[in-house]
């Protein structure tokens, strides 16, 4: 009887250990890093011994979720958002690590003619001639785009034909379906929608790079595994994948 009880106890402990090992690490990640993170996901899961459960969205939308109390272990957001959430006690201080950056650029329908965007003046003429422009309403690129319109002196001229989309997918689908002639979003997000191709980056001083940081939740269920994930994603092993997805690793 004692042997049976001991065996049962060992089996219970083994099952608990296996369950803990397979418990998913909950990640909130900005759309800007989605293509690279999806490609890195299998290797990251092997490195930390846990599956990744990833929720994607704009940094602004994910910030609202975190402020509302949604549970997560690891966040990959813009530095500004990370700083705000750290100050609010939602992200553990001192855990943020730079992963990669991406520029902002133009996307057009696959197979469509490619207008000139080589210089700021060429961009100005292209945007003035475009029948419709899509940008993400709450995207991290929005401030740069508005600043570009102002700098080029076309803010009023393009206001009526600029569509403020609910997300990256909506902006891309609008272009792919011919509802918008051009989109302006982070370069790393353009390939996420089939039927859209990268036209090119914002030229010269119109460009602004969006950076992404990984950090640990102040209330993470498994902070150790979250830190291991950050170590992997910020390691040289992850750099080639970031580069292949149009991003500059840290």
Domain count, the chain: 2
**CA–CA–CA angle 217, 221, 226 (5° rounding):** 55
- CA separation for the pair 238, 236 (Å, rounded): 5
User: 114 and 165 share a domain?
Assistant: yes
Report pLDDT for 3. Answer: 52
Same domain, 116 and 172: yes
Listed in sequence order, the residues at least 6 apart from 35 whose beta carbon sits closer than 8 Å to its beta carbon are 188, 189, 191, 192, 245, 246
Domain contains 4: no
Is there a domain that residue 235 lies in? yes
d(CA 221, CA 219): 6
Which percentage of the chain shows pLDDT scores above 70?
A: 92
Q: Computed over its alpha carbons, how large is the radius of gyration of the chain? A: 22
Q: How far is CA 73 from CA 80, 108, 188, 214, in A?
A: 19, 36, 24, 11
Q: Using a pLDDT cut of 90, give the percent of the chain over it.
A: 88
34 inside domain? yes
Q: Could you tell me the pLDDT band of residue 20, with boundaries at 50, 70 and 90? A: very low
Summarised one tens digit per residue, pLDDT across range 132-149 is 999 999 888 999 999 999
- At residue 160, φ and ψ (nearest 5 deg) are -75, -20
Q: Whole-model pTM?
A: 0.84
Q: Which of 20-24, 78-82, 138-142, 181-185 has the lowest mean pLDDT?
A: 20-24
| Residue-level pLDDT at 21 | 53
The chain-wide mean pLDDT, for the chain, equals 91
* CATH code, 186: 3.40.190.10
Based on the domain organization, do 109 and 76 belong to the same domain? no
Q: What is the pLDDT of residue 14?
A: 39
């Amino acid at each position: 009887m004692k042997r049976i009880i001991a065996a049962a106890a060992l089996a219970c402990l083994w099952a608990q250990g296996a369950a803990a090992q397979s418990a998913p690490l909950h990640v909130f990640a900005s759309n800007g890093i989605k293509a690279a993170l999806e490609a890195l996901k299998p290797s990251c899961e092997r490195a930390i011994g846990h599956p990744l459960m990833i929720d994607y969205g704009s940094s602004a939308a994910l910030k609202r979720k975190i402020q509302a109390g949604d549970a997560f272990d690891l966040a990959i957001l813009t530095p500004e958002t990370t700083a705000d959430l750290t100050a609010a006690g939602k992200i553990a201080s001192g855990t943020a690590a730079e992963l990669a950056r991406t520029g902002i650029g133009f996307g057009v329908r696959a197979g469509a003619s490619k207008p000139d965007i080589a210089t700021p003046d060429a961009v100005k003429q292209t945007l003035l001639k475009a029948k419709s422009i899509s940008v993400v309403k709450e995207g991290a690129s929005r401030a740069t785009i508005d600043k570009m319109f102002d700098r080029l002196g076309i803010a009023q001229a393009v206001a009526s034909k600029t569509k403020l989309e609910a997300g990256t997918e909506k902006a891309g689908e609008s272009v792919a379906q011919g509802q918008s002639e051009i989109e302006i979003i982070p370069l790393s997000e353009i390939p996420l929608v089939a039927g859209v191709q990268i036209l090119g980056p914002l030229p010269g001083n119109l460009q602004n790079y969006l950076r992404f940081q990984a950090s640990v939740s102040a209330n993470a269920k498994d902070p150790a595994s979250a830190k291991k994930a950050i170590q992997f994603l910020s390691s040289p092993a992850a750099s080639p994948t970031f580069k292949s997805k149009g991003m500059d690793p840290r």
